[in-house]
């Protein structure tokens, strides 16, 4: 029996991986799996060797503070992968973690084929990393078409497969009994890491207070992972109003996004899900000032959001660092509410951009076919 080890480092990667594995399972059922994953891979009855939340650190300082713990997790993960003896190590996103593991696994057992899904953002900084990746990654799967030229220049095997999160979900879930009928929904995304939630959640709660002072027809939905649900609940339980809820069920999240009037999202993969459904939005992010200082010096792009990077202008407003505060968020959202023509303009530009990013076929199917090709050859 062939074996695949699936390696993820955070909830968004766990979700991406699960979409590919679903496609593989439809075509081939004689494969043994083991993973380091979260709730999405668990729902496919795949055992995880460790708890995903133990490795979701963000920023330079968080990594430095946990450096010995991270090294230990990397070494333990490598050991378990090598013991499992997979035909393929399928790593997904989280390059600072997953690619270090992949490199060590390749050193231990060069016969294990390594396929990495989601290119590191070499177009943002450190393009020369590709020279190193060639030594231990057999195939790089790309989410964005413009990334291909960087890998072709270094003659590294790569394929543009498209982005799974841009695939429209045909499954419709009845959420009429979940959301109030007479309110407009604002979806809030405080992040999937505890470090993000600690920084962004208090700001979002203050934003809600400002909104509730001016309006009485909005209802706020916090989108969370199962792991972080109780963390958010603990921090929000004393909130003075009751026009909110926390949603962690992945089966209904997309339908709530689709039915949202507006979204305030932390920078990252989730912003693509919001854009896919043409929901007007703004991006927020805040990190430790030391982290930001280093990142600002290394980053080569002007924007944080992929829609803005592709368009080379701020289609979706970005409120980062000092601008990421409750008053600025309120002002931005309120401005969109007062200017419906801006909402229309953003929707049109986002729709056009998303269309240019999509592949002709299902991206998860493209990725699955490549993995199966390695399995069968």
- The whole-number average pLDDT for the span 145-160 is 94
- Give alpha helix (H) positions in the chain: 11-27, 39-42, 59-65, 67-84, 95-108, 129-133, 148-153, 194-214, 226-236, 250-258, 270-276, 289-298, 306-311, 326-338, 340-357, 363-376
Would the pLDDT of 156 be above 60?
yes
List, as own/partner pairs, every contact residues 296-299 make where C-beta atoms lie below 8 angstroms and the sequence separation is at least 24, other chains included. Answer: 298/125, 298/126, 299/124, 299/125
Q: What is the pLDDT of residue 334?
A: 97
Superfamily of domain covering 184-357? Glycogen Phosphorylase B; (3.40.50.2000)
Nearest to 81 by CA among 7, 131, 24, 167: 7
CB atoms within 10 A of CB 240: 8
Q: What is the pLDDT of residue 300?
A: 65
Q: For residue 307, give both structure tokens.
A: 């829609």
In which band, very low, low, confident or very high, does the pLDDT at 171 lie, cut at 50, 70 and 90? low
Distances (CA, A) of 347 to 188, 315, 328: 18, 9, 21
CB 126 within 8 A of CB 156: no
What whole-number percentage of the chain has pLDDT above 70?
Answer: 92
Q: How far apart are CA 349 and CA 323, in angstroms?
A: 24
Q: What is the pLDDT of residue 267?
A: 87
Q: Which of 90-104, 119-133, 332-346 has the lowest mean pLDDT?
A: 119-133
Q: What is the pLDDT of residue 10?
A: 87
Evaluate whether 2-162+359-376 and 184-357 have a shared fold.
yes
- The whole-number average pLDDT for the span 10-14 is 88
Kindly give the pairing relationship between strand 184-189 and strand 88-92. unpaired
Q: What is the pLDDT of residue 294?
A: 58
Q: What's the longest Cα–Cα distance across the chain?
A: 63
Q: Where do the domains of the chain lie?
A: 2-162+359-376, 184-357
Condensed to tens digits (0 to 9), the pLDDT of residues 330-350 reads 999 999 999 999 999 999 999
In which band, very low, low, confident or very high, does the pLDDT at 293 lie, cut at 50, 70 and 90? low
Condensed to tens digits (0 to 9), the pLDDT of residues 21-47 reads 999 999 999 999 999 999 999 999 999
In which band, very low, low, confident or very high, does the pLDDT at 226 lie, cut at 50, 70 and 90? confident
Task: Give me the sheet containing 113-117, strands edge to edge.
Answer: 31-36, 2-8, 88-92, 113-117, 139-142, 158-160
Q: What is the pLDDT of residue 111?
A: 97
**Over the chain, what is the mean pLDDT?**
89
Would the pLDDT of 91 be above 90?
yes
Condensed to tens digits (0 to 9), the pLDDT of residues 182-201 reads 899 999 999 988 888 999 99
- The whole-number average pLDDT for the span 61-85 is 81
Cα angle 51-246-185, degrees, rounded to a multiple of 5: 135
CB 191 within 8 A of CB 197: yes
pTM for this model (two decimals)? 0.73
- For residues 122 and 206, the model is more confident at 206
In which band, very low, low, confident or very high, does the pLDDT at 362 lie, cut at 50, 70 and 90? confident
Q: How far apart are CA 46 and CA 40, in angstroms?
A: 9
Superfamily of domain covering 2-162+359-376? Glycogen Phosphorylase B; (3.40.50.2000)
- The whole-number average pLDDT for the span 80-106 is 96
């Amino acid at each position: 029996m062939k074996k695949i080890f699936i390696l993820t480092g955070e909830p968004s990667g766990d979700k991406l991986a699960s979409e590919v594995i679903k496609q593989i399972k439809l075509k081939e059922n004689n494969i043994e799996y083991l993973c380091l994953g979260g709730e999405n891979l668990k729902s496919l009855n795949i055992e995880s060797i460790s708890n995903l939340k133990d490795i979701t650190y963000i920023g330079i300082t968080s990594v430095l503070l946990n450096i010995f713990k991270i090294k230990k997790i990397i070494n333990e993960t490598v050991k378990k992968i090598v013991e499992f003896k997979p035909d393929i190590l399928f790593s997904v996103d989280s390059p600072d973690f997953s690619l270090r593991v992949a490199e060590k696994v390749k050193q231990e057992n060069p016969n294990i084929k390594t396929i990495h899904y989601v290119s590191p953002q070499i177009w943002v900084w450190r393009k020369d990393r590709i020279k190193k990746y060639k030594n231990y990654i057999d195939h790089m799967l790309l989410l964005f078409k413009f990334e291909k030229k960087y890998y072709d220049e270094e003659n590294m095997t790569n394929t543009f497969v498209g982005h799974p999160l841009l695939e429209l979900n045909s499954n419709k879930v009845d959420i009429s009994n979940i959301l109030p009928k007479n309110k407009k929904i604002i979806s809030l995304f405080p992040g999937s890491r505890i470090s993000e939630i600690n920084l962004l959640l208090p700001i979002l709660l203050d934003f809600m207070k400002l909104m509730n002072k001016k309006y009485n027809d909005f209802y706020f939905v916090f989108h969370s992972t199962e792991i972080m649900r109780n963390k958010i609940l603990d921090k929000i339980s004393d909130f003075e109003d009751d026009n909110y809820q926390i949603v962690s069920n992945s089966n209904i999240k997309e339908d709530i996004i689709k039915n949202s009037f507006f979204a305030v999202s932390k920078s990252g993969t989730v912003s693509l899900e919001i854009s896919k459904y043409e929901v007007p939005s703004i991006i927020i992010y805040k990190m430790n000032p030391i982290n930001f200082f280093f990142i600002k010096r290394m980053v080569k792009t002007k924007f944080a959001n992929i829609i803005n990077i592709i368009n080379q202008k701020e289609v979706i407003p970005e409120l980062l660092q000092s601008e990421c505060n409750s008053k600025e968020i309120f002002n931005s959202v309120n401005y969109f509410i007062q200017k419906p023509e801006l909402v229309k303009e953003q929707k049109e530009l986002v729709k056009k951009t998303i269309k240019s990013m999509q592949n002709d076929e299902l991206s998860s199917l493209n990725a699955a076919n490549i993995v199966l090709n390695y399995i069968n050859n």
